């Protein structure tokens, strides 16, 4: 790459040191990707496409095909946008990396999905702490072709903007957990069995296998307030996955007014990432084998 991401500073937060980037929208510098950048895309693309049939949900697999994403080259945002606009009215915008929440919410509320323009290095194939082009494009974009999921993402952005205006930090934390356990690490029940829809899972080789095959994690039926109370892991596979019955369930959950929900959630205790509660709809109770010590985010 000839161009470098414009990292502004590193800030220390309760989730560790997080890089802060310039927050504007940038043109995808497609002509500046090196041969090695395209090879990294190809390697990751091939690896995940081999793994995902029978693991990723039907909508993810079909829509990735419909978007004509392939291993041949890093996709052009422009080309993907023609499909996306026609299917759901969403569009991709290039960004430098993680965005402050208010900027991120504003994009989603206007049906724009921010995609990091740069791709990870060859020594980061298995793990990268922050979103890069592979995670954002491969992981997130296919489901934006699904009308119900697309509406959920917009509703989430609108909810985030409102939470910032009216409800404060606790509400934002609840929304971050909701995003984490659905958009990033969600599972869905399909006729043939549990399948992945979370972008953080489909873009990870190890977790694509672990989340479905391991007996260690809990798999629990989705419940909005339960999810909003649940802490999560940022440094390991999840201890708990929440399972939806369909994307309608997500959209329905976010259609209700969150105003009375936030105080209820704030009044209840936060749930550690690996805990199972009395009223949970438990699909599999995890063995807890190999779970890391240390505190949840
Ligand atoms: N910025 N580019 C980008 N991508 C994300 O997924 C993202 C973000 N900023 C904030 C954020 N996610 C989380 O705080 C979510 O809870 C919204
Ligand atoms: Fe993501």
DSSP string, 170-220: HHHHHHHHHHIIIIIT-EEEETTEEEE--HHHHT-HHHHHHHHH-SSSEEE
Distance CA 80, CA 65 (A): 11
| Contact predicate 63/150, CB 8 Å | no
Question: 271 - beta bridge partners?
Answer: 230
Residue 105 CA: nearest ligand 1 atom is: 17
Taking the centre of ligand 2 as the mean of its atom positions, its distance from the CA of residue 200, in whole angstroms, is 6
Taking the centre of ligand 1 as the mean of its atom positions, its distance from the CA of residue 184, in whole angstroms, is 10
CA angle 92, 183, 139 (to 5 degrees): 55
**Closest listed ligand to the CA of 114:** 1
Q: Which residues line ligand 1 (CB under 6 A)?
A: 95, 98-99, 101, 104, 114, 131, 176, 179
Residue 116 CA: nearest ligand 1 atom is: 2
Residue ranges of the chain with per-residue pLDDT less than 50: 2
What are the structural domains of the chain? 7-284 (1.10.800.10)
Taking the centre of ligand 2 as the mean of its atom positions, its distance from the CA of residue 16, in whole angstroms, is 17
| Contact predicate 161/175, CB 8 Å | no
DSSP assignment letter at 26: B
Mutate to test the pocket of ligand 1, among 19, 25, 97, 98 (most ligand atoms within 8 A of CB): 98
pLDDT given at position 4:
72
> Is 112 buried (19+), middle (13-18) or exposed (0-12) by CB count in 10 A?
middle
DSSP assignment letter at 236: S
pLDDT tens string 155-199? 999 999 999 999 989 999 999 999 999 999 999 999 999 999 999
Mutate to test the pocket of ligand 1, among 11, 18, 104 (most ligand atoms within 8 A of CB): 104
Residue 100 CA: nearest ligand 1 atom is: 9
Residue 131 CA: nearest ligand 1 atom is: 4
pLDDT given at position 295:
78
pLDDT given at position 2:
47
Give the residue among 80, 47, 85, 48 at the shortest CA–CA distance from 66.
80
Taking the centre of ligand 2 as the mean of its atom positions, its distance from the CA of residue 278, in whole angstroms, is 31
Mutate to test the pocket of ligand 1, among 99, 199, 227 (most ligand atoms within 8 A of CB): 99
Taking the centre of ligand 1 as the mean of its atom positions, its distance from the CA of residue 192, in whole angstroms, is 32
Give the residue among 65, 283, 297 at the shortest CA–CA distance from 177.
297
Residue 175 CA: nearest ligand 1 atom is: 16
């Amino acid at each position: 790459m000839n161009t470098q991401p414009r990292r502004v500073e590193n800030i220390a937060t309760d989730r560790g040191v997080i890089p802060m980037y310039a927050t504007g929208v940038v043109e995808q510098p497609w002509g500046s990707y090196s041969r090695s950048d395209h090879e990294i895309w190809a390697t990751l693309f091939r690896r995940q496409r081999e793994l995902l049939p029978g693991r990723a949900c039907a909508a993810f697999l079909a829509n990735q095909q419909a978007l004509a994403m392939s291993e041949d080259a890093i996709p052009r945002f422009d080309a993907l946008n023609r499909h996306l606009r026609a299917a759901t009215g969403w569009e991709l915008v290039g960004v430098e990396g993680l965005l402050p929440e208010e900027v991120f919410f504003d994009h989603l509320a206007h049906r724009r999905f921010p995609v990091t323009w740069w791709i990870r290095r060859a020594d980061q194939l298995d793990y990268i702490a922050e979103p890069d082009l592979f995670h954002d494009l491969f992981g997130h974009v296919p489901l934006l072709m699904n009308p119900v999921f697309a509406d959920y993402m917009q509703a989430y952005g609108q909810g985030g903007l409102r939470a910032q205006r009216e409800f404060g930090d606790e509400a934002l934390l609840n929304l971050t957990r909701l995003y984490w356990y659905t958009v990033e690490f969600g599972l869905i029940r399909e006729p043939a069995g549990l399948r992945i829809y979370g972008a953080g899972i489909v873009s990870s080789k190890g977790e694509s296998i672990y989340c479905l095959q391991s007996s260690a994690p809990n798999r629990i039926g989705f419940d909005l307030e339960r999810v909003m109370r649940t802490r999560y892991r940022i440094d390991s596979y999840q201890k708990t996955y929440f399972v939806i019955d369909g994307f309608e369930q997500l959209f329905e959950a976010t259609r209700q007014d969150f105003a009375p929900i936030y105080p209820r959630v704030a009044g209840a205790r936060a749930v550690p990432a690996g805990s199972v509660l009395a009223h949970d709809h438990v699909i599999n109770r995890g063995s807890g084998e190999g779970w890391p010590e240390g505190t949840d985010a």
